[in-house]
Every structure is written in structure tokens, then in C-alpha cells.
């Protein structure tokens, strides 16, 4: 009963507090459970488990509609002059996470929703092709109990997996289709009053381009607060954008590469302690 109560609370969607529906996955990413589990449900129905999926006009792909397209399209429709994607956030303790805090004002499509949506599409498509016990599927995908110390778990490649399933132009098409469906539904009809077909097409184009640039073309960046960094000593000099250049640096220790989020976070903290305490630097040195 306690686990069922926790799951019920995590699935209660609240756009004003999206951090309440997120969990820290074993691969170190924060995942919203809502789009993840709805994608799994669509995959199960496509694979023959449960009632058939409804057919809607205009035609749309239910797997994309319930995971990414509706939330993405609605966010760009409402936030025309403000950011419609993000932000990310951090957990209070990477070893024993309890509370997740966003790094800025919430949108309808924060990073945790993007991760959950991509995972929902990838896992839903898998279940449609090959019915798999859910516990086995989730353990294998997120890297728990599959000897993940020897290799990165499949969830580390969610961006690549989603890109392969979306293909060129599909995301824009699905966002446009779901917005036309929302135009006909009583709860959302008011959102699209006075919004013509050309504007819907423009919103879908911006949404697909923004999602692609942020979540598919750029690598996931792990912020300092996620690996438990100490504060910078002294007063840092802020940089101004655009940057002329930046460096991606290797690490000398540990000699064997870390394969899990917790191991990598511990390695980063060890490097910072050595540079601050032994070398008396302000922070990790270049």
C-alpha cells in the first residue's frame, strides 16, 4: 500500500510543481513518470495487451501524442514570449535523493518531462514490438541489475534512440496534429480560439526545432549541484556569452572509467577535494 500511495502521488500532474512527479533514475537523469508510463501503456496496447487505442482525426501517432507532442505543443502555444522548454533541476542528495528543485521558473515542458517523454517513446515502441515483463524492461533500460559497471545503460542513449524513432519531420507533424485535436476537445478548445492553421503550423515548427536543438543535438550536461560540488572559493569572474571557446578535459583518476552516475559523482567530488584541499585552488583546476 505504501508503494502504491507513493506512485499515485508521483503521477499526480501539477504544471505548477512539475518536480513532484519526477524521480532520479539510476543513470543520473531525472525522469517524469507521467509521460514514461503513458508511453508504456500505449506500447502495451499496441502489442495486444488491453483495449485498443482510439482513432482520432486528424490522424496522429498515439505514442508521440501522449508522451511528447501534447505537452510540447501546449507549452509553445502558451509561452510565446517566454522560454517554453526547461529548466533542469537538482536533487538534495545524489546518494539518497528525496527532494528535486528546479533551477528556474517552471514551464509545461521541463527537462524531466523531456526525459520521461523520450523514454516513454523508446520503451513503448519496444513493448509494441516485443512484449517484455515491465520489471525486466525497466531494470535493463535504466541499468539496475544488468552489470552496469561494465557499460553504460541503454537509457544513457535515450536521445539517440528517440531520434531514430522520430526521424526527420515526424515530431513537427505530430505536434501539429495534436494541436488540431485539442481544438476540438471541450477542455482545451479555448486555448486555440482565434489561432489559425498557419499559426498552428508555426507553433509546431518552433516546438520541434526547439526540442531538437535542446534535447537531441546538444549533449546532456550534468550541473554542479547534481554531483554534489562544494561552493567555489573566493569570488568567481562570470563569463559573458557568446564564449569564444571552451575546453572538454579528461580526468586522470580514477584510471578505470566510471560507469554509473553515483561512481562518476564520487569521482568528481574526489577531484574537487584534491584541488581545493591539497593544492589550495579555488575549485577544480584546468
Clarify whether residues 217 and 268 are in a common domain.
Answer: no
The pLDDT value recorded for residue 97 is 86
pLDDT, tens digit (0-9, with 9 covering 90-100), for 264-279: 888 899 999 999 999 9
Question: Is the per-residue pLDDT at 148 higher than 80?
Answer: no
Q: Round to whole Å and give the CA distance between 209 and 169.
A: 10
The pLDDT value recorded for residue 13 is 60
Clarify whether residues 168 and 279 are in a common domain.
Answer: no
More confident residue, 37 or 94: 37
Sign of CA dihedral 222, 122, 19, 148: negative
In a domain, 231, yes or no: no
Q: Is 184 helix (H, G, I), strand (E, B) or coil?
A: helix
The pLDDT value recorded for residue 203 is 94
Clarify whether residues 158 and 258 are in a common domain.
Answer: no
Confidence of residue 285 (pLDDT cuts 50, 70, 90): confident
Give the helix/strand (H/E) hosting 30.
strand 30-32
Clarify whether residues 131 and 2 are in a common domain.
Answer: yes
Clarify whether residues 69 and 35 are in a common domain.
Answer: yes
Could you give the angle at which helices 111-129 and 134-142 cross, rounded to 10 degrees?
A: 130
- Structural domain range at position 214: 1-226
In a domain, 27, yes or no: yes
The pLDDT value recorded for residue 146 is 46
Q: Round to whole Å and give the CA distance between 239 and 276.
A: 21
Clarify whether residues 100 and 215 are in a common domain.
Answer: yes
In a domain, 213, yes or no: yes
State the chain's maximal CA–CA distance in angstroms: 65
Domain count, the chain: 2
DSSP per-residue letters across 91-119: ES-SSS---EEESS---SS-HHHHHHHHH
In a domain, 82, yes or no: yes
Clarify whether residues 193 and 76 are in a common domain.
Answer: yes
Question: How far is residue 249 from each of residues 106, 222, 246, 252, 268, measured CA to CA in Å?
Answer: 32, 15, 10, 10, 12
Could you give the angle at which helices 111-129 and 33-46 cross, rounded to 10 degrees?
A: 20
Taking residues 211-238, report their average pLDDT. Answer: 91
In a domain, 234, yes or no: no
Clarify whether residues 132 and 83 are in a common domain.
Answer: yes
Q: In the chain, what percentage of residues exceed pLDDT 70?
A: 93
In a domain, 239, yes or no: no
Clarify whether residues 129 and 263 are in a common domain.
Answer: no
CB under 8 Å to 138, separation ≥6 — which residues? Answer: 123, 144
Amino acid at each position: 500500500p505504501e508503494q502504491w500511495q507513493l506512485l499515485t502521488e508521483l503521477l499526480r500532474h501539477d504544471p505548477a510543481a512539475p518536480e513532484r512527479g519526477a524521480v532520479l533514475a539510476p543513470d543520473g537523469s531525472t525522469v517524469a513518470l507521467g509521460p514514461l508510463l503513458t508511453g508504456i501503456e500505449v506500447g502495451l496496447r499496441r502489442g495486444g495487451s488491453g483495449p485498443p487505442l482510439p482513432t482520432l482525426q486528424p490522424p496522429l501517432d498515439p505514442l508521440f501524442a501522449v508522451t511528447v507532442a501534447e505537452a510540447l505543443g501546449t507549452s509553445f502555444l502558451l509561452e510565446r514570449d517566454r522560454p517554453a522548454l526547461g529548466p533542469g533541476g537538482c536533487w538534495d542528495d545524489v546518494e539518497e535523493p528525496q527532494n528535486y528543485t528546479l533551477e528556474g521558473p517552471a514551464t509545461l515542458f521541463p527537462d524531466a518531462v523531456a526525459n520521461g517523454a523520450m523514454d516513454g517513446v523508446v520503451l513503448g515502441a519496444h513493448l509494441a514490438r516485443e512484449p517484455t515483463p515491465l520489471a525486466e524492461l525497466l531494470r535493463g533500460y535504466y541499468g539496475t541489475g544488468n552489470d552496469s559497471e561494465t557499460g553504460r545503460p541503454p537509457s544513457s542513449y535515450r536521445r539517440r534512440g528517440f531520434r531514430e524513432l522520430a526521424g526527420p519531420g515526424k515530431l513537427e507533424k505530430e505536434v501539429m496534429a495534436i494541436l488540431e485535436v485539442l481544438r476540438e476537445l471541450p477542455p482545451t478548445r479555448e486555448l486555440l480560439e482565434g489561432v489559425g492553421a498557419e499559426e498552428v503550423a508555426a507553433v509546431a515548427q518552433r516546438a520541434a526545432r526547439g526540442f531538437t536543438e535542446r534535447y537531441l543535438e546538444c549533449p546532456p550536461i550534468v550541473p554542479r549541484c547534481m554531483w554534489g560540488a562544494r561552493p567555489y572559493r573566493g569570488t568567481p569572474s562570470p563569463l559573458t556569452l557568446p564564449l569564444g571557446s571552451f575546453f572538454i578535459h579528461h580526468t586522470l583518476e580514477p584510471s578505470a572509467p566510471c560507469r554509473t552516475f553515483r561512481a562518476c559523482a564520487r569521482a568528481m567530488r574526489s577531484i574537487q577535494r584534491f584541488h581545493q584541499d591539497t593544492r589550495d585552488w579555488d575549485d577544480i583546476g584546468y
